[in-house]
Every structure is written in structure tokens, then in C-alpha cells.
Amino acid sequence: MKAQTFIQECKAELEKVQWPTREEVINSTIVVLITVVIFSVFLSLADQFFINLLKWFWRLGA
């Protein structure tokens, strides 16, 4: 009996959820993809900068 009550309550709660529209999902996905690309480029450039900086320091010590 408890399992049946649980399932009924879950169904009732899911009916209260306001699901996003297709347009909202597409727009959110685009924002996430653009953000990921921007951060990936930034981290790649920062990584290259620090690698070159370390190489320059190592050349000074050699």
C-alpha cells in the first residue's frame, strides 16, 4: 500500500511542475554551448600563456 501511495503522490507532484517549452530548451542549450566554447578558448589560451611563461623561466635558469 505504501508503494502505491508513493507513486500517486509522485504523479501528483509531477503534474505541478512547469515544464519548459521547446523554445526555452533550445535557447538554454545555445547559451550553454556558447558559454562552454568561450571558456574552452579562454582556458586554452591561458594554458598556452603559462606554458610559455614557464619555458621562459626555465631558459633563464639554464
Q: Where are the domains of the chain?
A: 21-62
Judge contact between 20 and 28, C-beta under 8 A. yes
Residues in the chain: 62
Answer whether 0.85 is exceeded by the pTM.
Answer: no
**Helices marked H in 1-62 — which ranges?**
2-16, 22-61
User: pLDDT (tens digit, 0 to 9) for every residue of the chain, 62 residues total?
Assistant: 688 999 999 999 999 999 999 999 999 999 999 999 999 999 999 999 999 999 999 998 86
* Dihedral over alpha carbons 32, 33, 35, 38 (to 10 degrees): 170
